[in-house]
Structure 1
Amino acid sequence: MSMMPPGAGGGRGGGRPPAFRDESELRSQNSEAPEVENLWRKIGALFTPYRGELLLSLVLVLVTAALGVLPALLTQQAFDRGLFPVGGGGPNLVALWWVLAAMVAVLILNSGLSIWQSWLTALIGNSVTADLRIRLFDKLQQMELAFFARTKTGEIQSRLQNDVGGVATTLQNTFTSVIGNVVATIASIAAMFVLNWQLAILSLIIMPPLVAMQRRVGQRRARVATKTQQSLADMTAMTQESLSVSGILLTKTLGREESSLDQYRVANREQVRLQRQLAMMGQWFFGFMRVVMGLVPVVIYLVAGFLIAGGTGLTAGTIVAFTSVNSQMTRPLTGLMRTGLEIQTSKALFARIFEYLGLKPAIEDSEEPKAPNPDRAGEVEFDHVSFRYPDQSKDEPATLSDVSFTVHAGEMAAFVGPSGAGKSTISYLAARLYDATEGTVRFAGVDVRDLRRSEIMRHIGLVSQESYLVHATIAENLRLAKPEASMSELEEACRKASIHEQIMSFPNGYETIVGERGYRLSGGEKQRIAIARVLLKDPPVLILDEATSALDTVSERHVQEAIDEASRGRTVISIAHRLSTIRHADVIHVLDRGRIVERGTHEELLGLGGHYADLYREQDPLTDSAHE
């Protein structure tokens, strides 16, 4: 189905969705933006489907962390029992061999378990990241048309790619890293107390100040991370708008290349500044931490000298083992500090992601959906419908006011009027891209709010003045309407749309790449492919939203022939600018300022001498070519 992109068409009164509003307004509208206290619960819930793998990974982390302190304790045994036995005498080579064998076994075992644990961590982290990306994409697809009309595409892409990518490392490594480093730190502290409690207390005095400093650095880093991601989102939006086919054409035709480059250069400079600030923030802290931790052995040796001199019986093996454990504790302790900073930084990104996941679509399926009435299939009814776009104030006139009509199955109903009269809005409401503010829209005799959206869209085909084609082959674009369609079905639909011969004249035929938004094709070719796509879908209701208004006279004639073929046996709602295309309609509704002011056949309305007659005189067939 060819859908009209948000923002195409006339002014807002004519059905144009509201303009983009910035992210701060989006946040203010989102009542479910995650609170800080709920954030960790939501993050934890991401791991729920992988409880088994997580539990196994946790066991491996605990085992490897515990094994990590054994080499230091075995070092003490190597000194005090093997090399320099406490009781005196020469080295005990038998004891030394056993201790060394144990050290090698622990090393091999720990290495193997670490590899297994790393594989599990990568599996869990990548799976959770993939799930998060799918959930976010699914949520965005559920959002109503108004959301995309007010939100930059680049901003949406940034949430889906940059923000999720930004938390990927946290999801992959944080949990096991925290657990592993905590266990390793605790095991190291326990080992130090076992070796010598006085030296252990001395080593731990520095920890509280370091933790306090880390928290302050993390808070500042989180604020910079938020600014960095928003700056990246702005750059993504700028890239998407400037380097699309339409954007680059506008830039070149207006000679704005240098200006566009200057804007991008300014944004890029700000991004570099923020990235540099983010990268360096905390480096001074870790530099200070490395100096402090490096000085600890110096203090230990000094205090150990006093203890030995005091006759405490402190052995060389104990001192070597203690300094080894203390040095070993530096790694998990530093890892915890770094992980703490990463968590505080990622918290801002998680908040942005969960903000989107918490959005509530304005249009949702009923909890108890009904089925269309088969006896009234193809019927569309507006019952005293009024409508305002979400950004319209109460002081502004409604886009539609008290509009009522019924299009019976197989009929063609046309809607005409000046720009801004509300014509395109009727097509949006009929397809339930928006919900009526007042009144009821019925499809097949049932309120559209009681039908599944998928059921409505299955029965409706829409062709707008700007048909959207994806950057793929012609065949792939056609199969968007019917993925299982055979080649003969594609060709039959294209013959009916008067485009088959043109496609076959291309070197690659149906395998021709159409380019972004179909830019390699003419407007008439794109429209006829869009019509062929609708014919392939074969819906009972066809909505034509000014499908020929942007075409030249020759292309319009070809497209109109295709439309006439597509309209046979279907209910047709035609939003028309050129009155020559709807003279044969069963009924023509004339809109002005959101109200139906006239209705009847072409001849009846000309006889009234009212709004329709005035519009027709403006588009007299004799002056049509001049009007073009």
Structure 2
Amino acid sequence: MSTPSPAPAARRGRRNRPDPDGPRATFRQLLPFLFEHKKVLVVVAVLSVLGAGATLVQPLLVGQVISRVQEGLDLGILIWLLIGFVVVSSVISGYQHYLLQRTGTAVVYSSRRKLIARILHLPVSEFDARRTGDLVSRVGTDTTLLYAVLTQGLADAVGNALILVGALLAMLFIDPLLLGLILLVIGGSVVVVVLLSGRIRTASTQQQIKVGELASGVERAVGSIRTVRAAGATDREVASVTRMASEAYDVGVRIAKVSALVVPVAGIAMQLSLLTVLGVGGFRVAAGAISIAQLVTFVMFLFLLIAPLATTFGAITSVNQALGALGRIQEVLDLPTEDAGDGVPRERVGTDAVAVADTVPAIAFRDVRFRYPDAVIAAREKAAAEARSLLEEAHVEPRVSDGAPEPEPAREVLRGVSFAVPRGARVALVGPSGAGKSTILSLIERFYDPTDGSILVDGVDVRDIARTDLRARFGYVEQDAPTLAGTIADNLRLASPEASDADCERVLREVNLGDVLERNELGIDAPVGEDGVMLSGGERQRLAIARAILAAPPVLLLDESTSSLDGVNEQRMREAIDAVARGRTLLVIAHRLSTVVDSDLIVVLERGRVVGTGTHAELVESTPLYRELARHQLLV
């Protein structure tokens, strides 16, 4: 089958890179979030119509009351009707407010649910190119702004529109001249607010970006607090995060300044309108053009006209802020998931273990080349630049490496790698840092796809196998052995949710973690703390291996699985792995050659190329790099 070229990957990386001016959203993109609750919104609209009718009747009744008083007539039931409509209008408004608040909360929940589902299904490359805190900010802060769309005037726009139209018609009927003067004043204020709204939207988007950067900075500092404290860098981190908070504050002040202009514009429009009505209206009453009752009615309709306009002005501000946040939400929702374009299920391409001949390698690399996407490279370069900046501020010289060449982010990580992992064999990947060993496991797991060449599992290209089916064949233990916050059982059952307590305890003892069970009366329900802080580094590593063993996959992928263990526990771990590896394929990355000297096959990598394959004895004779590594570790 054909393989993707580097060019499209590069284009995808550029496309996914965040827009420096911030992502933009349109009102049309907001509608799907609202239409999910269309039944409630229809009820709100009906209530708005009823409330608008009850509100518009009140000035007319007041006018009738004034006229009857002037004429000395009995008020009859007019007062009771007026009181009734006031009560009905208030009750409708209260219930409508409840529905809007509830629906606003539901919109936030819906957007968060979609965003969480999308984020957790994104390709690994997106996590490498983006900062965790920024993604968390989109789920928390950005989605909250959608709440204002419903609660600040947008959803009851139907009622406001009816009140606006009804008030205009009534005012036109009472005195067209006064209405014309008022429309001139209000029209000018509307133009000003519309012009200001564009600036609010742009500034709001920038603010959300700054808040995302702030969240990333806090997440980085808190997540590495022990390292920061040990390095004496607390004050520098405080200064760095504070600088991000200051930038977010500056943008917030700009929004406040622009938004503050909207308030006086609305106030000036109302004051001028009222003064115009009282001045010109009083003159027209004196001239006999209209009556006092008509003037009072007109003034009441003026207030009814101003109220929807004020609400509309507020809605324009809140909607523009929400659209700025929605742009960042939509940016993530528009990203393709990892499963987009996934391969067909394994059963349809003949990769069942029972149907594959023993002579077919469990895993095979054929001239594989790989280069990280441009967006990932840019993110790593940015992180490196920030680290250098902090060192410069602290007047600390960058640490000189032990002679290893400086990595080049833009170069190919793998350059024509070819090797095979026989079924049921133990294969080790060794080589200096930066040789591409961990990248090989990432490609097998399909966190990334190769730039060129092919990777076969049971004779089938991994791009033709659905990721869920592919990963079900592997037990993968990462180099850092991350531990999830929760209990020991939570971590063990991550890949085996149906495992019994007895099975969990069995695998823990197999990896020499029995003492962890005994030191806490809760046993496997004992908490491990944030990032496994209540466990030692070696215990976290053994817990990760136990998790992989519990899933009982046909292939184990171990990345530096014994790097944090002492000599005694390393030997016990090797014995445990020996026991579970029987009948399974094992691919191991190791810097300690002593842990892999008895492997069936050792693949030596250097700068993304295979420079030797064979057993320990064969490589000592044939491969200078391996011989040098073995000499440094006193194995020859």
**Partner of 1:488: helix, strand, or coil?**
helix
Once the two structures are superposed, residues 226-274 of structure 1 have per-residue CA deviations (whole angstroms, 9 ceiling, x without a partner) of 2322221121111111112xx2112211112222222233333333333
Report what 1:206 is aligned to: 185
Question: Match of 2:267, as an amino acid?
Answer: R
Identify the match of residue 346 of structure 1 among 298, 316, 322: 322
2:18 equivalent to 1:27: yes
Report what 2:196 is aligned to: 217
Question: Residues 90-489 of structure 1 correspond to what in structure 2 (within 5 A)?
Answer: 90-92=72-74, 96-244=75-223, 247-312=224-289, 314-361=290-337, 364-366=340-342, 368-371=344-347, 372-374=351-353, 375-376=355-356, 379-391=362-374, 397-489=411-503
C-alpha separation in 2, matches of 1:367 and 1:347: 36
Q: Is the contact made by 1:463 and 1:530 (CA closer than 8 Å) also made in structure 2?
A: yes
C-alpha separation in 2, matches of 1:565 and 1:100: 91
2:529 equivalent to 1:529: no
Q: Which moved more, 1:247-256 or 1:609-618?
A: 609-618
C-alpha separation in 2, matches of 1:516 and 1:601: 41
Report what 1:516 is aligned to: 530
Question: Match of 2:352, as an amino acid?
Answer: N
Question: Match of 1:462, as an amino acid?
Answer: Y
C-alpha separation in 1, matches of 2:485 and 2:412: 38
Q: Is the contact made by 1:159 and 1:352 (CA closer than 8 Å) also made in structure 2?
A: yes
**Partner of 1:47: helix, strand, or coil?**
helix
**Partner of 1:574: helix, strand, or coil?**
strand
C-alpha separation in 1, matches of 2:251 and 2:143: 19
**Partner of 1:258: helix, strand, or coil?**
helix
Question: Match of 1:132, as an amino acid?
Answer: S
Q: Which moved more, 1:317-326 or 1:375-384?
A: 375-384
C-alpha separation in 2, matches of 1:100 and 1:52: 36
Q: Is the contact made by 1:460 and 1:541 (CA closer than 8 Å) also made in structure 2?
A: yes
Q: Is the contact made by 2:285 and 2:292 (CA closer than 8 Å) also made in structure 1?
A: no
Q: How far 1:593 sits from its partner (Å)? A: 2.3
**Partner of 2:419: helix, strand, or coil?**
strand
- Structure 1 pair 401/297, CA: closer, same or farther in 2 (3 Å)? closer
Report what 2:604 is aligned to: 590
C-alpha separation in 2, matches of 1:79 and 1:413: 98
C-alpha separation in 1, matches of 2:152 and 2:469: 43
C-alpha separation in 1, matches of 2:560 and 2:20: 33
Q: Is the contact made by 1:497 and 1:565 (CA closer than 8 Å) also made in structure 2?
A: no
Once the two structures are superposed, residues 148-184 of structure 1 have per-residue CA deviations (whole angstroms, 9 ceiling, x without a partner) of 1221111111122111122322255453143332222
Report what 1:577 is aligned to: 591
Q: Is the contact made by 2:428 and 2:589 (CA closer than 8 Å) also made in structure 1?
A: yes
- Structure 1 pair 502/369, CA: closer, same or farther in 2 (3 Å)? closer
2:579 equivalent to 1:565: yes
Q: Is the contact made by 1:411 and 1:586 (CA closer than 8 Å) also made in structure 2?
A: yes
Report what 2:64 is aligned to: 77
- Structure 1 pair 610/264, CA: closer, same or farther in 2 (3 Å)? closer
Once the two structures are superposed, residues 47-89 of structure 1 have per-residue CA deviations (whole angstroms, 9 ceiling, x without a partner) of 23323222222222222123211111110111113x223xxxx
C-alpha separation in 2, matches of 1:552 and 1:172: 60
**Partner of 2:453: helix, strand, or coil?**
strand
C-alpha separation in 1, matches of 2:152 and 2:498: 42
Unaligned runs of 5+ in 2: 1-8, 379-407
Q: How far 1:367 sits from its partner (Å)? A: 6.4
Once the two structures are superposed, residues 443-497 of structure 1 have per-residue CA deviations (whole angstroms, 9 ceiling, x without a partner) of 2332211111111122211112311111211122212222232211211221222
C-alpha separation in 2, matches of 1:137 and 1:479: 22
**Partner of 1:434: helix, strand, or coil?**
coil
Report what 2:42 is aligned to: 55
C-alpha separation in 1, matches of 2:546 and 2:623: 38
| Identity score, percent | 30
- Structure 1 pair 396/294, CA: closer, same or farther in 2 (3 Å)? closer
* Equivalenced residues, count: 588
Q: Which moved more, 1:109-118 or 1:60-69?
A: 109-118
- Structure 1 pair 491/567, CA: closer, same or farther in 2 (3 Å)? same
Q: Is the contact made by 1:527 and 1:559 (CA closer than 8 Å) also made in structure 2?
A: no
Q: How far 1:433 sits from its partner (Å)? A: 0.9
Q: Is the contact made by 1:122 and 1:172 (CA closer than 8 Å) also made in structure 2?
A: yes
C-alpha separation in 2, matches of 1:395 and 1:552: 33
Q: Is the contact made by 1:464 and 1:544 (CA closer than 8 Å) also made in structure 2?
A: yes
Q: Which moved more, 1:296-305 or 1:432-441?
A: 296-305
Q: Which has the higher contact order (CA 8 A, sep 6+)?
A: 1
Question: Match of 2:532, as an amino acid?
Answer: G
C-alpha separation in 1, matches of 2:591 and 2:115: 39
Question: Match of 1:387, as an amino acid?
Answer: F
**Partner of 1:359: helix, strand, or coil?**
coil
TM-score (norm 2): 0.86
C-alpha separation in 2, matches of 1:179 and 1:129: 22
Q: Is the contact made by 1:69 and 1:191 (CA closer than 8 Å) also made in structure 2?
A: no
- Structure 1 pair 604/240, CA: closer, same or farther in 2 (3 Å)? same
Q: How far 1:404 sits from its partner (Å)? A: 2.3
Q: How far 1:291 sits from its partner (Å)? A: 3.4
Q: Which moved more, 1:549-558 or 1:97-106?
A: 549-558
Unaligned runs of 5+ in 1: 1-17, 623-628
**Partner of 1:46: helix, strand, or coil?**
helix
Q: Is the contact made by 2:285 and 2:295 (CA closer than 8 Å) also made in structure 1?
A: no
